[in-house]
Amino acid sequence: DAKTTQPNSMESNEEEPVHLPCNHSTISGTDYIHWYRQLPSQGPEYVIHGLTSNVNNRMASLAIAEDRKSSTLILHRATLRDAAVYYCILNNFGNEKLTFGTGTRLTIIP
């Protein structure tokens, strides 16, 4: 699977939007962009995924660049419970495996 690059850590104030970037310059045409997050001492949790178009769900929004070489996970209004490590993962259609990178550790400031 193609590699992703994320900042090691980010901070955001509570109740403000958070934009978590991910670079994936070597993405292939059949790679889906997945985001998972892992709260402390828990297993990862699915957040959102997309291919080309921007996606919205109850947890977050995913904005995908037109050339698909980068994407941004948007938390519209961060709460303390959103403090977690966020992983951006590329997954090729038909490949069941997920390869986790180091992710971005998001800290929410009250």
Partner 1 sequence: GAVVSQHPSRVICKSGTSVKIECRSLDFQATTMFWYRQFPKQSLMLMATSNEGSKATYEQGVEKDKFLINHASLTLSTLTVTSAHPEDSSFYICSARRIPGGTDTQYFGPGTRLTVL
Q: Which residues bind partner 1 (CB under 8 A)?
A: 32, 34, 36, 38, 41-46, 49, 87, 91, 93-94, 96-103
Q: Do 52 and 28 form a contact (C-beta atoms < 8 A)?
A: no
Shortest distance in whole angstroms from residue 81 CB to partner 1: 16
Select 7 or 101, whichever has its Cβ closest to partner 1: 101
Shortest distance in whole angstroms from residue 32 CB to partner 1: 5
Shortest distance in whole angstroms from residue 52 CB to partner 1: 13
Select 43 or 110, whichever has its Cβ closest to partner 1: 43
Give which of 83, 65, 62 is closest to 74, Cα–Cα.
62
Shortest distance in whole angstroms from residue 102 CB to partner 1: 5
What is residue 81's DSSP assignment?
Answer: G
Residue spans of beta strands (DSSP E) within the chain? 9-13, 18-23, 31-38, 45-50, 55-56, 61-64, 70-75, 84-92, 104-109
Q: Which two tokens stand for residue 35?
A: 């985001």
Select 14 or 98, whichever has its Cβ closest to partner 1: 98
